[in-house]
């Protein structure tokens, strides 16, 4: 492609998948449907037209739909892998509907997460500006005035001035480090092409359990579509390699595929690699013996998706008040650290 297309937001991915699902539901081939939409988008944004042209150009060369999406560089990894699973299983329309709903939820959660994270960071930045003004402008001005006015007074308050300046400098460094860390996390998230909520959760050490649950739900959803369409477990596992942004999950998928190649039963391989919680792995083992393996995968996929959504909501609902309390307390301590020595200065005049 001559022009690089920016990564789509969760809202945009949701809308694209919805449109593609509507095309398939109407019985029109995906290439024909997208071609018609592209021709009718004369007044739309150039980026949207460029994206659709890139997809239709790839489809015109008889590439699979998932490959056409991947070549644009605009779609998230999970979206591409789920579309691949849908194409391989013959359930592309179902996969696109589920992806539309999934990324709609991601967009809503992302808005809540942005509110929870951005507001405290703005407060921290404002605090840093106030401390910078006090430390770099007000204190030196006070010191100069007292030094010119009465050297004796300056000798009395000199120690307080130095303490206040040092405290302000330390607090400015702390603010800068925190804001820099937030900036680095933002850059990493953008590079991963993830939604805001997923990116935040995957990068936070205290949200590892939630991140793993999300990854397990993504894995189970893709595998469920394939297993229910009669695709062999080994082939299904090979197809979903790299589906998650969680490195550990991707490594376990590789190990699980190797175990299957060594004739280890699928349910045992899942339990050994811990790709699914033990309860679900054992449920699969029982269902395999009873002939209800396909339906068990559907229920497990739905259950893990519910658990992942619940965990994300709990994290987001608790993140804002916790961050607000911590950063408000930090801002207050920073201000007091600078202002108390200044009060001592005034009392010694």
Collapsing DSSP states into helix, strand and coil, what is residue 139?
A: helix
Find the DSSP H helices in the chain: 10-25, 30-39, 46-60, 65-72, 77-89, 92-133, 139-149, 151-192, 196-203, 208-227, 233-239, 247-261, 266-273, 278-290, 293-347
Contacts of 268 (CB under 8 A, 6+ apart): 259, 281, 285
Task: Give residue 34's domain range.
Answer: 10-75
Q: How crowded is the C-beta side of 223, counted as CA atoms within 13 Å?
A: 34
Lowest mean pLDDT among 22-26, 127-131, 216-220, 318-322: 318-322
Span 216-256, pLDDT tens digits: 887 888 888 777 767 778 888 887 777 777 778 888 888 99
Q: Could you tell me if 112 and 71 lie in one domain? A: no
Flag whether 86 is in a domain: no
134: closest CA among 160, 162, 163, 164?
164
Flag whether 98 is in a domain: no
What pLDDT score was predicted for residue 320? 67
Domain count, the chain: 2
Flag whether 173 is in a domain: yes
Span 133-184, pLDDT tens digits: 877 887 777 777 767 766 766 676 667 677 777 877 887 888 788 888 877 7
Higher pLDDT, 213 or 18: 18
Encoding tokens for residue 82?
């789920």
Q: Residue 98 and residue 102: Cα distance in Å, rounded?
A: 6
Flag whether 1 is in a domain: no
Q: Residue 94 and residue 113: Cα distance in Å, rounded?
A: 28
Flag whether 87 is in a domain: no
Residue 257 near residue 235 (C-beta atoms within 8 A): no
Q: Could you tell me if 185 and 41 lie in one domain? A: no
Span 103-147, pLDDT tens digits: 887 787 777 767 767 777 787 788 788 878 877 887 777 777 767
Is residue 69's pLDDT more than 50? yes
Q: Could you tell me if 70 and 121 lie in one domain? A: no
Q: Could you tell me if 50 and 119 lie in one domain? A: no
Q: Could you tell me if 135 and 30 lie in one domain? A: no
Encoding tokens for residue 49?
């037209």
Flag whether 100 is in a domain: no
Q: Could you tell me if 67 and 184 lie in one domain? A: no
What pLDDT score was predicted for residue 280? 86
Q: Could you tell me if 274 and 319 lie in one domain? A: yes
Higher pLDDT, 268 or 161: 268
190: closest CA among 205, 180, 177, 203?
203
Q: Could you tell me if 183 and 141 lie in one domain? A: yes
Q: Could you tell me if 40 and 171 lie in one domain? A: no
Q: Could you tell me if 270 and 134 lie in one domain? A: yes
pLDDT category at 200 given cuts 50, 70, 90 is: low
Of 75, 94, 129, the one marking the end of a domain is 75
Flag whether 101 is in a domain: no
């Amino acid at each position: 492609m001559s022009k690089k297309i920016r990564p789509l937001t969760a809202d945009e991915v949701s809308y694209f998948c919805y449109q593609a699902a509507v095309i398939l539901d109407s019985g029109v081939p995906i290439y024909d449907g997208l071609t018609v939409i592209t021709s009718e988008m004369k007044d739309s944004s150039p980026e949207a037209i460029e994206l659709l042209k890139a997809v239709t150009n790839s489809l015109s060369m008889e590439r699979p739909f998932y490959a056409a999406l991947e070549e644009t560089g605009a779609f998230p990894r999970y979206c591409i892998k789920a579309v691949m699973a849908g194409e391989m299983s013959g359930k592309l329309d179902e996969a696109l509907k589920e992806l539309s709903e999934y990324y709609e939820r991601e967009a809503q959660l992302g808005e809540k997460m942005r509110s929870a994270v951005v507001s405290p960071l703005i407060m921290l930045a404002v605090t840093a500006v106030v401390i910078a003004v006090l430390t770099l402008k007000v204190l030196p001005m006070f010191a100069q005035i007292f030094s010119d006015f009465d050297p004796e007074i300056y000798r009395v308050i000199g120690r307080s001035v130095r303490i206040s300046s040092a405290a302000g400098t330390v607090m400015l460094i702390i603010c800068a480090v925190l804001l820099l860390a937030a900036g680095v996390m933002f850059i990493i998230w953008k590079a991963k092409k993830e939604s805001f909520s997923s990116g935040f959760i995957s990068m936070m050490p205290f949200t590892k359990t939630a991140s793993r649950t999300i990854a397990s739900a993504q894995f189970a959803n893709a595998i469920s579509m394939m297993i229910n369409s009669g695709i062999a477990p080994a082939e299904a596992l090979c197809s979903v390699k790299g589906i998650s942004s969680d490195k550990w999950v991707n490594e376990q998928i590789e190990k699980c595929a190797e175990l299957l190649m060594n004739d280890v039963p699928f349910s045992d391989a899942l339990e050994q690699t811990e790709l699914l919680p033990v309860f679900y792995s054992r449920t699969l083992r029982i269902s395999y013996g009873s002939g209800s393996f396909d339906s068990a995968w559907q229920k497990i996929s739905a259950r893990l998706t519910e658990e992942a959504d619940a965990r994300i909501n709990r994290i987001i609902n608790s993140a804002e008040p916790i961050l607000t309390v911590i950063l408000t307390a930090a801002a207050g301590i920073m201000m007091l650290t600078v202002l108390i020595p200044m009060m001592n200065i005034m009392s010694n005049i």
